[in-house]
A and B are shown apart, each in its own frame.
Chain A
Amino acid sequence: MAIGHVGVAAPRPRASLHVRVRELLDRERFLGPAFVTPALFLLLLLVAYPFVMAVYFALSDSFIGRPSHFIGLKNFLALWQSDAFRQTFQNAFVFTGISVALKLVLGVSLALLLSRQLWWKRAIRGAVLLPWVIPTALSTLGWVWMFDSLYSVVNWTGLALGALDPPGPNWLGQRYHAMAAVITVNVWRGLPFFAITILAGLVSIPRELYEAAESDGAGPASRFWYVTLPLLKPVLAIVILFSTIFTFSDFNIVFVLTHGGPINSTHLFATLARQIGLETGRIGEGAAISLYLFPVLVFVVWAQLRYVRRQVY
């Protein structure tokens, strides 16, 4: 038996951990999921889990600290029997419709104003954001005092100027006045979001388009209708979409200002859900109130996003 030379392959030098990690990061198949996973995990934990729990509660007779049972859509059907809920349903549409419309008109106007060459432009743009930055519960407390029946500065000013008859309107005690008050505060708070976002859209419109329109003899109104507005449409659609969702689900303003009164005339889904779900312990009904408009909002989101995609592509 011949004994030949047995060649032993020299061990390949093992790549250092640093090098291996770099190699891994160079692969797109790994890098993509690696970036997405933390966000996905957060979404699952902070959005999906609470949402699934809310759906489960809404379909159950869940009561704080007691065993719950699946009851299907019973909560959703039973709610419609309640006068307070039907009123809330109506309030939500009135409140959201008027607020978003006002914020849109005023937001576009303010954005157009801010896009001009103003003195202290940066300071003014910063100041416009203040209502958006201040915590809502805190700023609404200021409005409570302004609409207060005893200390109302609004009435005091109106009376001093002779614009109001004494004792002045009972802002938070009359159905329509109270709705006007909560809408006013919502518009005041939401206007900066509209203005600044639309301003960003305005700034991105090429100047040449205006120059071309001007050379064709278009006046300011025509330039707005035929240049500014069409190019702003995608931005407006997104802003309206976000604002509609935020306004439908508003809580702080109504809770601090009117507590849903007078006679439930300013209750919104969130405030009624708190009243039923937390103060009375009926978590199932509270969750059903919160989720009542979910299908409608899903449709609104789908329709608007579809519209935006069509506009952009």
Chain B
Amino acid sequence: MEPLSRRRFLATSAGLAGVLAAGVPPARGQQREISYLCWNNFAPASDKKLAEIGQRFTKDTGIKIRIDHIAHSQQAAKYASEVQSQAGHDLVEMRMHFPWLYEPQLVDVSDLVAELEKKHGKVLSSGYEAAHVKGVWRAVPQYHAYFVPTYREDLFKKAGLKIPDTWEDVYTVGRELKKMGHPVGIPISQNYDSISTAGPVLWCFGAREVEKDGTTVAINSPQTAEAVEWYKRVYRDCMEPEVLSWTDASNNQTMQAGKSGWIHNPVSTYVVAKKKKLVTADAINHHRSLAGPGGRHETDVPRSIGIWKFSKHVEPAKEWIRYLLGKREVYDEYVMSGDAFNLPVYTNLQDHAILKSDPKYAGLKGEGVQYHIYGWPAPPSDRIQLITNSFILPNMIAKAVTGTPTREAIVWAENEMRKILKG
């Protein structure tokens, strides 16, 4: 071993003291490593593909990436704990309105979005509503999965039923389907799928929960009364009371099990049936989103990637987003792995190859459909999210279909919304 000179000993000691005092390792010792927390995708192949892309990213850039997954129901609690403790992952996958909820804790990523929009075209309106917070992009739109009418093609053919184009048509075919023992399946319970259907029904009838200003409650209107009356008729003549107890998974299961003839859900119902080779898979198909007197609207669930401000690796984190979403071939590969569940959220990519990969995805092309997130047209502030998370909309409908007069149910919802917006 080479003897240690006094000068070298002093230099090393001083350097070590400096590192300890600053709390930052020297550049040579710093590992470029980032961590990314995302949900367990409903299309599991997509998670496998993400891991594969992560490995290639490390090989190409020298930046190590650790990708963790959690169930979507645990996301809110996990994110809250990371923010409160100011420690955790560098990047997080954000569902729908999360960027609004965690706005002060997220890095401004407007530069990244501008780069991506230059390559792929503008972000879709729902992606913009979700991640563009008070003039700043707080997360980078990643993909989206929207709700779509899903029906049993074989039953429709057998009974000679016309594919519905409006919510009123759903009532017409629903009566026949129920007589055939295959009722319509729209949840009216305390889950998010209930809101995902109640929203478009309301919007299509021309009703709103809260005005665009985010402060004026608009639920008490003749249009809402019409929408609620529609629900009452459909509940009575086209559905069974089981919908009052449904979870987010129930409408998928009832269609896959061969019971329901028509449901409103993302494409995952068909994707899972196909993957599991269920006997119903061949008979399930999709059609264009429905219209009403107020237009043709649909619920969208955009997802985006945010970077926590407490991250010490903002630049490597941005590099990962550029790699995953900015490289067209990588983004295409990622989208294709999701089997039409993770669709591109940029305008120039709307006619994507994934929609041609299966004839049953033809109904997903949403020509003339306006996609929104919960609470539209109000911006998804924390108060609007409290209205959503308190399930006021499905509870108003549940009250009405179980005997409360329509007017009384609407006034109840109006009062609850007012208290939240005032409080």
Report which A residues bind B (CB closer than 8 A): 63-66, 78, 81-84, 147, 149-150, 167, 170-174, 178, 258-264, 274-276, 278-283
Interface presence of B385 (CB below 8 A): yes
Which of B56-64, B225-233, B240-248 is found at the contact surface with chain A?
A: B240-248
Count chain B CB atoms within 10 A of each CB in A66, A84, A262, A264 and give the residue with the most.
A262
Cβ contacts under 8 Å, A149 to chain B: 240, 242, 245-246, 250
Are A170 and B191 neighbours in the complex by a CB distance under 8 Å? Answer: no
Report which B residues bind A (CB closer than 8 A): 76-77, 79-80, 83-84, 101-102, 104-105, 189-191, 240-247, 250, 253-254, 257, 259, 382, 385-386, 389-391, 395, 398-399, 412, 415-416, 419, 423
Compute how far the CA of A269 lies from the CA of B254 in the bound complex, rounded to whole angstroms. 32
Instruction: Name the distance in Å between A297's Cβ and chain B's nearest Cβ.
Output: 24
Cβ contacts under 8 Å, A274 to chain B: 77
Instruction: Name the distance in Å between B257's Cβ and chain A's nearest Cβ.
Output: 6
Compute how far the CA of A66 lies from the CA of B416 in the bound complex, rounded to whole angstroms. 25
Q: Closest residue of chain B to A266, judged by CB? A: B190
22 contacts between A and B (CB under 8 A): A63-B382, A64-B105, A65-B102, A147-B245, A150-B242, A150-B253, A150-B254, A170-B244, A172-B245, A259-B190, A259-B191, A260-B190, A261-B190, A261-B191, A261-B245, A261-B391, A263-B398, A264-B190, A264-B391, A275-B389, A278-B80, A280-B385
Are A81 and B242 neighbours in the complex by a CB distance under 8 Å? Answer: no
What DSSP secondary structure best describes chain B's contact surface?
helix
Cβ contacts under 8 Å, A170 to chain B: 241-242, 244-245
Instruction: Known A262-B398, A280-B382, A281-B382; judge A173-B242 contact (CB<8 A).
Output: yes
Ranked 7 nearest A-B pairs via Cβ: A173-B245, A173-B244, A149-B242, A261-B190, A172-B245, A65-B105, A65-B83
Are B245 and A171 neighbours in the complex by a CB distance under 8 Å? Answer: yes
- B190: contacting residue among A150, A167, A174, A262, CB under 8 A: A262
Q: Closest residue of chain A to B101, judged by CB? A: A281
Instruction: Name the distance in Å between A133's Cβ and chain B's nearest Cβ.
Output: 24
Instruction: Name the distance in Å between A281's Cβ and chain B's nearest Cβ.
Output: 5
Q: Closest residue of chain B to A177, judged by CB? A: B245
Instruction: Name the distance in Å between B396's Cβ and chain A's nearest Cβ.
Output: 9
Instruction: Name the distance in Å between A56's Cβ and chain B's nearest Cβ.
Output: 13
Given A65-B104, A258-B190, 7 further pairs, Cβ under 8 A: A78-B423, A84-B390, A173-B243, A174-B245, A260-B190, A261-B395, A262-B245
Cβ contacts under 8 Å, B389 to chain A: 275-276, 279-280
Are A282 and B398 neighbours in the complex by a CB distance under 8 Å? Answer: no
Are A276 and B83 neighbours in the complex by a CB distance under 8 Å? Answer: no
Count chain A CB atoms within 10 A of each CB in B79, B191, B390 and give the residue with the most.
B390
Are B250 and A64 neighbours in the complex by a CB distance under 8 Å? Answer: no
Instruction: Name the distance in Å between B73's Cβ and chain A's nearest Cβ.
Output: 9
Compute how far the CA of A83 lies from the CA of B423 in the bound complex, rounded to whole angstroms. 14
- B423: contacting residue among A81, A258, A262, CB under 8 A: A81
Are B244 and A150 neighbours in the complex by a CB distance under 8 Å? Answer: no
Compute how far the CA of A66 lies from the CA of B102 in the bound complex, rounded to whole angstroms. 9
Instruction: Name the distance in Å between A291's Cβ and chain B's nearest Cβ.
Output: 18
Instruction: Name the distance in Å between A196's Cβ and chain B's nearest Cβ.
Output: 33
Instruction: Known A82-B419, A83-B412, A262-B244; judge A64-B385 contact (CB<8 A).
Output: no
Instruction: Known A66-B104, A84-B390, A263-B399; judge A279-B76 contact (CB<8 A).
Output: yes
Compute how far the CA of A275 lies from the CA of B76 in the bound complex, rounded to whole angstroms. 10
Instruction: Name the distance in Å between A224's Cβ and chain B's nearest Cβ.
Output: 41
Compute how far the CA of A183 lies from the CA of B386 in the bound complex, rounded to whole angstroms. 28
Instruction: Name the distance in Å between A95's Cβ and chain B's nearest Cβ.
Output: 17
Count chain B CB atoms within 10 A of each CB in A65, A280, A282 and give the residue with the most.
A65
Cβ contacts under 8 Å, A84 to chain B: 390, 416
Cβ contacts under 8 Å, A81 to chain B: 419, 423
Q: Closest residue of chain A to B248, judged by CB? A: A259
Cβ contacts under 8 Å, B190 to chain A: 258-264
Compute how far the CA of A222 lies from the CA of B254 in the bound complex, rounded to whole angstroms. 56
Count chain A CB atoms within 10 A of each CB in B79, B189, B257 and give the residue with the most.
B189
Instruction: Name the distance in Å between B378's Cβ and chain A's nearest Cβ.
Output: 15
Instruction: Name the distance in Å between B266's Cβ and chain A's nearest Cβ.
Output: 20
Cβ contacts under 8 Å, A66 to chain B: 104
Compute how far the CA of A149 lies from the CA of B395 in the bound complex, rounded to whole angstroms. 19
Cβ contacts under 8 Å, B84 to chain A: 64-65, 283
Cβ contacts under 8 Å, B250 to chain A: 149-150
Count chain B CB atoms within 10 A of each CB in A64, A260, A282 and give the residue with the most.
A64
- A282: contacting residue among B189, B253, B382, CB under 8 A: B382
Compute how far the CA of A259 lies from the CA of B245 in the bound complex, rounded to whole angstroms. 10
Compute how far the CA of A275 lies from the CA of B388 in the bound complex, rounded to whole angstroms. 11
Q: Closest residue of chain A to B398, judged by CB? A: A263
Are B189 and A261 neighbours in the complex by a CB distance under 8 Å? Answer: yes
Instruction: Known A64-B101, A84-B390; judge A259-B398 contact (CB<8 A).
Output: no
Cβ contacts under 8 Å, A178 to chain B: 245
Instruction: Known A150-B257, A278-B80; judge A173-B241 contact (CB<8 A).
Output: yes
Are A174 and B102 neighbours in the complex by a CB distance under 8 Å? Answer: no
